[in-house]
Amino acid sequence: MRMRTRSGSAALLVGFAFACATTPQAQPPGPPPVVASPAIVSTPPVVAAAPVVAAPAAPLAAPAPREAEGRHAAPAPLEARILAAKGWGWLVDKLAADGVPRERAERAFADPRMQAFDGLYFNPYPAEPKSMYRAVLARRSVAQARACRDEYWRAFDAAEARTGVPAELVAAILHVETRCGRNTGDSIVLFGLARLAMANEPDNLERNLDRRAEPDGRLDRALEQRVRARAATLEEMFYPEVRAVFELADHWRRDPLSLRGSASGAFGFPQFLPTSYLRFGADGNGDGRVDLYDVDDAATSAGWFLASHGWQGRLERVEQRRVLWHYNRSDAYIDAVLGLADELGPGPARGRLPVVEAAH
């Protein structure tokens, strides 16, 4: 046991256990334009995300001149002062050390659209309850998923032919994630990812440790280690996603705060995280760009993701679960997706292309 001083916080409780969001969000007015990137091809291999490249940035105001010896130092630039007040300094320092121009990162996190970081409480033992996905297999939900499968059968069948992943499985994923694109989310992706990446920020970690301590300040050593491990895991999972938002902004020549999606930072019909878009985004309709708000691209991209993680043809159930775990680390989610895929079935043969082996 260890002794701790308890402290209060306005932080939110998070039991985040998965890689992509499934909570329905309001549909944005329309899909954002996606500019084709030479790094994303129609049959992408699994590659590491490219290093962040700075986008042209508007110049900051010139810093105030250094004051005379013995007087107070000049005040920090406005963005830096706002940043300190909003609590994002630790994350901005990491981004700057990893090659994102500091001025660019400071502008993004000091922007009025970017909420302040008020702390993040997280569950050291995360798990999604089965009840979270109970409605997926309800009669109305299955009928909606079947309607999606039937309406876009060409897209799903083409994705299966190219990747080897069953069309009904891809259709099930798009339905569970966003109800076939109807609920893709309208939250600022950068904020959702940044909050999760801040789990291991020293002050935030201390608040979580204090929260788990006994009234007398004692904290079980095993629990302390679990809290620290969970914080490190969240940082490892989501800090690369924060960096990738700036990379996507470069690809698309857009403001990094303009990307909208779920409250947890996933976007598009398949609710990809930014690094998944960069690694597995595929041009399903041959128009020279990758748009996850287009069903052809979304279906093919989801297929490439699963194929790249080991899906080959018709797998045994245990192998199916192993592959889907990479998509979402939740047994309840996997149960829902596989159950819905079983309900949909292979579908009628409508001039379908022959299934080919998945590329790796």
**Statement: residue 247 has pLDDT above 60:** yes
Q: Tell me what pLDDT residue 47 has.
A: 31
pLDDT confidence band for 43 (50 / 70 / 90) = very low
Q: Tell me what pLDDT residue 348 has.
A: 59
pLDDT confidence band for 34 (50 / 70 / 90) = very low
The whole model's pTM is what? 0.78
Q: Tell me what pLDDT residue 76 has.
A: 60
**Statement: residue 55 has pLDDT above 50:** no
Q: Tell me what pLDDT residue 92 has.
A: 96
Q: Tell me what pLDDT residue 352 has.
A: 44
DSSP string, 72-129: PPPPPPHHHHHHHHHT-HHHHHHHHHTTS-HHHHHHHHHSTTS-----EEE-SS----
Please state the rounded mean pLDDT for residues 254-267: 97
Please state the rounded mean pLDDT for residues 11-34: 40
Please state the rounded mean pLDDT for residues 248-255: 94
Q: Tell me what pLDDT residue 4 has.
A: 58
Q: Provide CB contacts within 8 A for 21, sequence distance 6+.
A: 177, 185, 261, 262, 263, 264, 265, 266, 271
Exposure string over 123-160, b if 16+ CB within 10 A, otherwise e: ebebebeeeebeebeeeebbeebbebbeebbbbbbbbb
Report the percent of the chain where pLDDT is more than 90. 71
- State which amino acid sits at residue 274: P
> Which domains occur in the chain, in start order?
78-118+190-253 (no CATH), 127-184+268-360 (1.10.530)
pLDDT tens by residue, 91-129: 999 999 999 999 999 999 999 999 999 999 999 999 899
pLDDT confidence band for 78 (50 / 70 / 90) = confident
Q: Tell me what pLDDT residue 308 has.
A: 97
Structure tokens at 39: 């790094």
Q: Across the chain, what does the average pLDDT equal?
A: 82
Q: Provide CB contacts within 8 A for 17, sequence distance 6+.
A: 123, 126, 127, 128, 329, 330
Q: Tell me what pLDDT residue 86 has.
A: 95
pLDDT tens by residue, 306-342: 999 999 977 999 999 999 999 999 999 999 999 999 9
Report the percent of the chain where pLDDT is more than 70. 75
pLDDT confidence band for 277 (50 / 70 / 90) = very high
Q: Tell me what pLDDT residue 20 has.
A: 59
